[in-house]
Structure 1
């Protein structure tokens, strides 16, 4: 059975006249009649009753017409869908991100993209960098917003989305809140809340190295797995914490943020995607994301 046979049958069934159906399909009448006959022979069912005066549908023909129209409509929908996908007008994009990215301009970038592309479905997954990398390589994510520090990015393209310095999160009422800036040397013997070593071991070592260069080892009282948890614990008065500058946008009661001077690494969020991914939809998303990049050249001193 061929699609053209279904097209011919729909024309005859709707016109109930072989001549008019042939004109509609831009085919001579004899070949059209032969195609309908072959279709009935293949089905083993009579679809059309033919007399010298008229053509009419059998009950089976009526049902077959309904289903053929459905097939035709679905085919047209499929054609339109893939054509829209090829132009980046329709489709699905799977976006992974680390928790701190929600405090950056990424939500604004996503909103702008959704407003410009209302027919694009965005699926989100909040995961750690370590969890997102295999999802990206396993084609379970199209793009990932991660924090790279010594990770293997072979086979991946990158776009630096955010670079900013660390600031110090201080419990409300702490002596540091009366100062404009804090130096890393002021943190000696100060109880500190750190991100877990297991989550970002290379970064953890780099931060510890910053304190070592300042002449002391930090007094770590608690390790947590997210920046949001870090700020929440600072609010309890447990200790101070190094957090990205964008965390200052967290209006949580009980926490004050102060600029921090010292030989510290920059805090970065990077967008990653597979080099072989040539999706027009992904490129459109990256074009919007690029408009919301925040790259600060300021470094701690």
Structure 2
């Protein structure tokens, strides 16, 4: 038996329906029927009992299926492994993320990626805010989904996945906590808690030193991680700009997230080394895009018209 005929026979033995078998294998029903008849002539025995109402394996067909399945599965595994090796889709893919929403998408994409590419494992690690590209440059990450901007000559900035309105995190008793929205000009009145570690262009974008009108913005104590920043806000040491989405995941007593009405959004995109664009990286990007699209479609359907 040729490999294609074995595939047709085993699929029909599973489906017990010529139409579904043809659809699954992207063949015509006539091609499926011809293959089965050819094998029955060769063996001199019927493989299936079939009428207009049902299709059933004969005793001879049952035994043939039992004998063929182990070898066919071994062939499938060998071909799949060879394809993965040829395409560079083996080994370990190391993915970084920041924030809960980035991590959730990465985890969902990793499950789908490993199901499609079983010879490639995915390792997921959080990216520290104070050292956004250190692990990428050290070869400890292949790709990451983190905050923009990322103006680095040796790093590729890929597609944007999330774009969220910005909010100002203030103590619950702060005078701005009762406002419906705040303005960038309001930052002139209180110390701003910056993150230590990121490059200057990142700090200028997220933690400006002046308001749009040119008024200076005072600096509070710096923080290296999110938790430190929130503790400093709770202690009344300053205010902190963040994604408004953070209120969904990080709200706690004593904190208020007040939306900005005039600040640019907080965006999150993919980054990878310019010389590290491998088939694994490109395949994972494709999976991420597909997973995000599916998630957004589900959200739209749930929201209704």
Q: Does 1:174 align with 2:177?
A: no
Q: Secondary structure at the match of 2:198?
A: coil
**Preserved CA contact (<8 Å) 2:113 2:287:** no
Query: What corresponds to 1:234 in structure 2?
Result: 233
Partner of 2:280: 281
Q: Which residue of 1 aligns with 2:303?
A: none
**Distance change >3 Å, CA 225–CA 206, structure 1 → 2:** same
Separation in structure 2 between the aligned mates of residue 79 and residue 124 of structure 1, nearest angstrom: 28
Query: Which residue in the other structure is 2:42 paired with?
Result: none
The 1:166/1:227 distance shift into structure 2, 3 A limit, reads farther
Alignment map for 1:234-253 (pairs within 5 Å): 234-249=233-248, 250-253=250-253
Q: How big is each residue's C-alpha offset from its partner over 1:182-206, in whole Å with a ceiling of 9 and x where there is no partner? A: 122233332332222x423123234
Q: CA RMSD in A?
A: 3.6
How far is the alpha carbon of 1:123 from its aligned partner? Answer: 1.7
CA positional deviation for 1:129 = 7.0
- Cα 1:115–1:91 shift into 2, 3 Å: same
Deviation (angstroms), 1:269: 2.2
- 2:105 aligns with 108
What are the residue-to-residue correspondences of 1:201-212 with 2, within 5 Å? 201-206=200-205, 209=208, 211-212=210-211
Distance 2:251 2:88 in 1: 38
Q: Distance in 2 between matches of 1:217 and 1:122?
A: 45
In structure 2, C-alpha distance between the alignment counterparts of 1:237 and 1:164, rounded to whole Å: 26
Confirm or deny: 8 A CA contact 2:89 2:279 kept in the other structure.
no
In structure 1, C-alpha distance between the alignment counterparts of 2:198 and 2:157, rounded to whole Å: 22
Distance 1:88 1:253, change over 3 A: farther
Query: What secondary structure, in the 3-state scheme, does the structure 1 residue paired with 2:242 have?
Result: strand
Aligned to 1:162: 162
Q: Which runs of 5+ in 1 are unaligned?
A: 1-76, 296-301
Q: How many residue pairs end up in the alignment?
A: 215
Structure 1 distance, partners of 2:220, 2:277, is 47
Superposition pairs of residues 94-173 of structure 1, within 5 angstroms: 94-97=94-97, 101-115=98-112, 117-118=114-115, 119=118, 120-128=120-128, 131=131, 133=133, 135-137=135-137, 139-149=139-149, 151-154=151-154, 156=156, 158-173=158-173
Contact 2:166 2:266 in 1 (8 A): yes
CA distance in 2, matches of 1:131, 1:176: 31
| Distance in structure 2 (CA, Å) of the matches to 1:185 and 1:140 | 40
Change (3 A) 1:208 1:252: closer
Q: Is the 8 A contact 1:106 1:289 kept in 2?
A: no
Higher fraction of strand: 1
